[in-house]
A and B are shown apart, each in its own frame.
Chain A
Amino acid sequence: MIKLKSVSVSVNGRLYEREIEPRLLLSDFLRHEIRLTGTHVGCEHGVCGACTVLLDNKAVRACLLFAIQVDGQELFTVESLAESQDDLHPLQNAFWETHGLQCGFCTPGILMTMIPFLEENKDPTEHEVREALSGNLCRCTGYQHIVDAVLLAAENQKKSN
């Protein structure tokens, strides 16, 4: 038997401490241990992007990290974006307005990919948005509305600055 190890990790500003097996994936830690089920799991080999979270303000795959690796670190999941349904993040609002989601399975990963992207790219072109989306699969929308949503969010972001 492999001994359990303790991890202590800050998720969305709150500290969680757990005893876990080293093989526990970060995606499963988030969903099953601390019950934040906004982070979705589609493929568990890095291809679909549904599990994307922010570590060090960078978008990373939660299914390709072991929870034990983020011991002592700080991360953010899709749950950090909005306090309530009436108080959505501007990017979430843009998805709403442009029909950027249908079933919503891919949406958390796409939001968590596009948040740092829009911080780094204040005025992205459609091509840059598509490039940034290349690591996220969506089986419903055909991507057009997702691209529209990100471009609208960028537009709104420019206006408010």
Chain B
Amino acid sequence: MKPAPFDYIALNSIEEITSALNEYGDDAKILAGGQSLVPAMNFRLLQPTMLLDINNVSKLDYVKLNGDKTLKIGALTRQSTIEKDEIIKEKFPLLHETMPQVAHSQIRNRGTIGGNLAHADPASELPAVCIAMGAKLKLISKEGERIIPSSEFFQGMFFTSLEPNEILAEIQIPIPTEHSGFSFMEFSRRRGDYALMGVAAVVVLDKNNNCTEAKLVYLNAGDGQVDAKKAASVLGGEKSSPDLFIEAGRIASEEEIDPFGNVHASTSYQRHLANILTQRALKIAFERAAKKEQNHD
């Protein structure tokens, strides 16, 4: 239960990080909040020989609104900072409401959004929420930077499109349109534990409350986040109705997700949860979108 020996350097700038990644390559690991990396090292599941501590790189720690279009969050921003941020609370309620479901307060005080996404745990809430919100991710290496959709970033269990010499630097989230509604629902054995199943739902309605866009993204539902496009597509052009939500829940839970099951939940139980959570989440998302539509008129 103690980590294997390693060497350690604390870095002070993005340039220092990218240079160090070039120099040490695969032997090195970035240390952000350490809330996933250190447990894995304590179990000796991971034995990096060099840790690159990025906690001093304050240039990666910010939440700012860019014009009125995009929210930019630095990768090193602590989960607890995001949870308490007023702009996020007001304009990005999906992210705000999901945050307390990620681990416990002590973990969120250290854990960073970038570390959470880079870890790419299929059971993690934030990757699913990023995909549902259409977030883009900025990756930086010595060669330059690139910005990719979060749906391309996540490649499967603990697997992302980050190159060994790249860091995740920024999360960019478009402001939800005025006619959108959302809901995040998960079921876990105890608050703060990884969920047995969860879903992030986003819908956009037109003036007549017909659905014009929908997203349903599941966590702990397969080898990565599951973007259930078929279930979402049956919502297109439709109004809120229990039958519609039952149909969407059925398609997502029977045809699209591919849960593995674990000691706490069989696959059939996970599918059952997905079905029910979908119906509940869609009901709320539609209600919220419809309310906004009224307020607006």
Contacts from A to B (Cβ < 8 Å): 2-3, 5, 21-23, 25, 28, 44-46, 49, 52, 58-61, 63-66, 68-69, 71, 113, 117, 131-132, 134-135
A69: chain B residues within 8 A (beta carbon): 10, 31, 34, 53, 55
Bound-complex Cα distance A102 to B55 (A): 38
* B 94-137 binary contact with A (CB < 8 Å = 1; else 0): 00000010011111011000000000000000000000000000
Which residues 42-58 of B sit at the A interface, judged by CB distance below 8 A?
A: 42-43, 51, 53, 55
> Which of chain A's residues have a CB closer than 8 A to the CB of B109?
58-60
Which residue of the partner chain A has the closest CB to B3?
A23
List 13 other contacts, CB 8 Å, given A113-B105, A134-B104, A135-B104. Answer: A2-B7, A3-B7, A21-B5, A23-B6, A25-B2, A25-B3, A44-B1, A45-B43, A46-B38, A60-B110, A66-B38, A66-B51, A69-B10
**What CA separation (Å) do A23 and B4 show in the bound complex?**
7
Taking a contact as CB atoms closer than 8 A, the residue among B7, B34, B43, B190 that contacts A65 in the complex is: B34
Can you list, as one digit per residue, whether each of B128-160 has a CB less than 8 Å from chain A (1) or not (0)?
A: 000000000000000000000000000000000
A65 touches B4 (CB 8 A): no
* B103 pairs with A135, CB closer than 8 A: yes
Contact assessment for B80 and A58 in the assembled complex, using a CB-CB cutoff below 8 Å: yes
Complex CA distance for A5 and B53, rounded to whole angstroms: 15
CB–CB A52/B106 < 8 A: yes
Complex-state Cα separation, A113 to B107, whole angstroms? 11
**Given the complex, which residues of A lie within 8 Å of B42, measured CB to CB?**
25, 44-45, 63
What mask results when residues 239 to 253 of chain B are scored 1 for a CB within 8 Å of chain A, else 0? 000000000000000
**What are 23 A-B contacts defined by CB distance under 8 Å?**
A2-B6, A5-B8, A21-B5, A22-B6, A25-B2, A44-B1, A44-B42, A59-B106, A60-B106, A60-B109, A61-B106, A64-B110, A65-B38, A66-B38, A69-B31, A69-B34, A69-B53, A71-B10, A131-B191, A132-B105, A134-B190, A135-B103, A135-B104
Interchain CB contact under 8 A, B104 and A49: yes
Q: Please state if A135 and B106 are interface contacts (CB–CB under 8 Å).
A: yes
Q: Which residue of the partner chain, among A25, A63, A131, contacts B100 with CB atoms under 8 Å?
A: A131
Tell whether B164 is near chain A: CB-to-CB under 8 Å: no
B192 adjacent to chain A (CB < 8 Å): yes
* Contact between A134 and B192, CB atoms less than 8 A apart: yes
Task: Kindly state the separation between the CA atoms of A3 and B38 in the bound complex, as whole angstroms.
Answer: 20
CB distance from A7 to the nearest CB of B (A): 11
Give the nearest-CB partner of B84 in chain A. Answer: A120
Docked-complex contact B105 and A68, CB < 8 angstroms: no
A132 to B109, CA, bound (A): 13
CB distance from B245 to the nearest CB of A (A): 28
**Chain A residues with Cβ under 8 A from B31's Cβ?**
69
CA distance A66 to B41 in the complex (A): 11
- The CA-CA distance from A29 to B102 in the complex, in Å, is 28
With the chains together, A113 CA to B191 CA distance in Å? 16
